[in-house]
Structure 1
Amino acid sequence: MRTVGLTLAALLLLTGCDDADAGAHPQAAPSTAPAAAAGGACQLLDFPVVNAKLGLDLAVAAAATLDNTFTCVLQPRAAGSPDLVLSVSATTIGADIYTSAIQPKGATPVPGLGAAAYQRPTPAADATGPGAEVGWLAGNKRIIQLSVHLAPGAADDKATELLPKLVDLAKLIDLSSL
């Protein structure tokens, strides 16, 4: 039994990788694909535009679809925050129903965005810092929600500063969703 153990140890040493071998196995290069390549709601987003509007460095996109809702999450390459989340759902409701049933209480209306729209800061949660949210009923009968969550520990005023920038981005998305 001792011979088998020594033989296995010797084989492991002989097949091990040293620093010279490390270069023989290149690491995968980070993706430089556009956000739209992730599909879903990511087709409405463009990394350079989002980053320029919000002053962020988002570089990774992931999309999902469930029933009639399409989502997209953008994050930095090496971290989970800040993040940007976009969701788009088909609907048959009108502006009156959107305003009374969907728009959160206490949210501020946003004129000039869709058929009805709101903006609001969002408080920090367990895994995220404070954020900002813009939601609207697009003219093409879609409920769209766009939110940014900052890193845990970020100051609330940083999220509040993002609101007008997020509204500007929402207006660009609204035009592209027609």
Structure 2
Amino acid sequence: MPTRLAVLGAVVMLFAVSGCTADNETAAIVEPAPSESAVEIPAAAAGGACILWDYDLIQQTVGIRFEVAASDQVDDTSSCVVQKTDEPWPDLSLSVVETTKANAEVFLEERMPAKAAKLKGLGRAGYRAYGQPAGEHGISTEIGWLSEAKQLQTLRLTFPKGTPAAEVKKFDAGLLDLAKALSTTNG
């Protein structure tokens, strides 16, 4: 019984000091201090192929502002994916194979997807291909090329499910501009 009285006393005391007011009084409302805005971490901070680009370059060429980046490295292939913080798509990926023995002819015969179109003016050889919707994502557009530095590079822009093909094609020129900006003589 003394324990119950102690608990009851503690609860009453808690209500007494918690600011309970009578019906005719109004409680003070304290507004929280404005939170600091999030600091954008550069894409290059993710390492890997992310060091080759930044969000501003992507926005200037492709026309989409991405906010987060992640990278990976497997053997001699480095990759980077960027996307928005609040949406899974669109996303943009870049993969770079450090070096290859393939020449332009071998690249086009063996590396270019069956339904791809050849691109001129991009590295030693290049192509553009479209991927069909799968799972939770929509159409993707891909540019692959053999750089002057004999690297295999691939850019893929994947859209949300339901994005019409005509909308996807609006990004073709910008994606090619980004590929050209990334295709330097040093890799």
1:93 equivalent in structure 2: 102
| CA RMSD after TM alignment | 2.6
Give, in angstroms, the shift of residue 98 of structure 1: 0.7
User: What SS does the aligned partner of 1:70 have?
Assistant: strand
Cα separation, 1, equivalents of 2:125 and 2:109: 11
Name which one, 1 or 2, has greater alpha-carbon Rg. 2
* Cα 1:169/1:176, change in 2 over 3 Å: farther
1:154 — aligned with what?
Answer: 163
Contiguous gaps of at least 5 residues in structure 1:
15-19
Query: Number of residues paired by the alignment?
Result: 164
SS of the aligned residue for 1:42 comes to helix
TM-score by length of 1: 0.81
Matches within 5 A, 1:1-178: 30-90=38-98, 91-175=100-184, 177-178=186-187
Deviations 1:131-174 (A, max 9, x none): 21100001111100001001111111111221121111100010
C-alpha distance in 1, partners of 2:132/2:44? Answer: 29
TM-score, length basis structure 2 = 0.78
The structure-2 alpha-carbon separation of the partners of 1:159 and 1:59, relative to structure 1 and needing over 3 Å to count, comes to same
* More displaced 10-residue stretch of structure 1: 81-90 or 117-126: 117-126
Q: How far, CA to CA, are the matches of 1:137 and 1:150 in structure 2? A: 25
**8 A contact 2:148–2:184 mirrored in 1:** no
The CA distance in 2 between the partners of 1:125 and 1:139, in whole Å, is: 33
Separation in structure 1 between the aligned mates of residue 80 and residue 186 of structure 2, nearest angstrom: 14
Using the TM superposition, give the Cα deviation of residue 27 of structure 1 relative to its aligned residue in structure 2, in angstroms.
Answer: 7.7
More helix by share: 1
Percent sequence identity is: 34
Q: Does the Cα contact within 8 Å between 1:133 and 1:163 map onto a contact in 2?
A: no
**For 1:146 and 1:77, how far apart are their aligned partners in 2?**
20
Separation (CA, whole Å) in 2 of partners of 1:36 and 1:169: 16
Q: Which residue of 2 aligns with 1:17?
A: none
Measure the CA separation in 2 of the matches of 1:89 and 1:147: 15
SS of 1:171's equivalent in the other structure is: helix
Q: Would you identify which runs of 4 or more consecutive aligned residues in structure 1 move more than 2 Å? A: 26-31, 175-178
5+ residue gaps, structure 2: 15-28
